[in-house]
Amino acid sequence: MSFKDFPDQQQGVELLQRSLERGRLAHGYLFTGNYIDELEAIARTLAQTLNCHQPVQADGVAIDACGTCLNCRKVADANHADVQWVRPESKSRIISVDQIRDLMQTIYLKPTEAEYKVAVIVGADRLNVQAANAFLKTLEEPPAKSVLILLTTEPSRILETILSRCLRLNFGGDGPRPLAAAEMDWLKQFSDMAATEQKSLISRYRLLDVLLQKTTAMKTAIEESLTARSPLQRYDDAEKDLRDKWEDELAAAIEAEYRRQRADLLAIVQRWLRDVWLQTLGESGKRKAESGNEVCTDGLLNFPELTSAGAVARRVKSAQAMENLQIIEATQRLLHTNVQEALALEVGLLKLHL
């Protein structure tokens, strides 16, 4: 893989390549974006570029990886001695202080087979306080010829002391991402059902069932995808301790990716509910048109092609529609805790004004 394989992230990639060309690469980076897989791939490409035997050059300086030399292949297979990966372990999805101390011991050793030592912390928002504090000195003054790369899809959950010591590059793009066809199909199903009369408890639980079926399918797909890519599938003869570590990392990665996708799903619902709120303002504006206070929502809707938002907007008041947005936000916060998922979703959905 090389930097040209990220055409949608041209701005961030160009900043990295410009830093490489000028010899001004930062010691600590925070890569943020919507997809942890993409962030890992960009970090992997940077590690390959720094240690590539046959790099793409500009003015004699490496600015991209060949992707085929021995070092590039080792980095791609996650078995390069000088490129370390740290991931959340166990069901708690925490990066512990012991993991960081092990990383610090490794990073201060001289490179064994490459020019640069590279450490990638996947899910840096999962550094607990003790781990973050133990890492601060190294992050501020890492050894020469070393680069520390922190990855997160939730930068708001990273401690300020960590943020202040990293150069942040955003690979998430501007504004909400467009929905894939399957996501739009699901939202249409969900919103059409929500647009029907929701007076009975049975109808509300049917709506909940649509949401839970989607989350279940998401988790199954994530488990299949990440399990297929796990080193557990490639190295059957690995020692038990290493296999146990990979199993813990796999379980944590599945949970982390599921939580991210679940948050994305609820964010999509929230964007639709914002359309409902905007259209309640439009309905209110129509009623006030005689006094010159009409509210225009043209160009503001996330999903103007869905008529369901207008159907709900005609039934609820603006204050109720605004409360719906607050309910989704509160549900998202609850789901970051150890609350039972099904219960949090049930309570949140039952509270919505539809």
**Model pLDDT for residues 285-317, shown as the tens digit of each residue:** 444 444 444 445 556 788 989 999 999 999 999
Among 45-49, 125-129, 331-335, top mean pLDDT goes to 45-49
Mean model confidence pLDDT for the chain = 87
- 64 touches 55 (CB < 8 A): yes
pLDDT for 152 equals 92
Domain limit, last residue, from 170, 205, 225:
170
Mind giving me the DSSP string for 228-248? Answer: HHSGGGT-TT--HHHHHHHHH
Mind giving me the DSSP string for 49-107? Answer: HHH-SS-EEETTEEEE--S-SHHHHHHHTT--TTEEEE--BTTTTBB-HHHHHHHHHHH
Judge whether residue 284 has pLDDT over 80: no
- In a shared domain, residues 149 and 190: no
Q: What Rg do the C-alpha atoms of the chain give, in angstroms?
A: 24
Q: Is residue 45 assigned to a domain?
A: yes
- In a shared domain, residues 56 and 156: yes
**What's the total number of domains in the chain?**
2
Tokens matching residue 349: 């959905």
Judge whether residue 183 has pLDDT over 60: yes
Domain hosting residue 134, numbered range? 3-170
- In a shared domain, residues 343 and 268: yes
Q: Is residue 175 assigned to a domain?
A: no
For residue 34, what pLDDT band results from cuts at 50, 70 and 90?
confident
- 116 touches 51 (CB < 8 A): yes
Domain limit, last residue, from 136, 170, 204:
170
Domain limit, last residue, from 150, 170, 190:
170
- In a shared domain, residues 81 and 144: yes
* Residue 170 exposed, middle or buried by CB count within 10 Å (0-12, 13-18, 19+): middle
Q: Is residue 161 assigned to a domain?
A: yes
Distance (Å, whole) CA 87 – CA 250: 9
- In a shared domain, residues 153 and 238: no
pLDDT in tens, 247-273: 888 888 888 888 888 988 999 999 999
Q: Which residue has the tokens 């990392």?
A: 249
Alpha carbon 147 to its chain's center = 22
Q: Quick one: CA dihedral 42, 48, 51, 54, positive or negative?
A: negative
Mean pLDDT of 227-239: 85
- In a shared domain, residues 226 and 335: yes
pLDDT for 294 equals 47
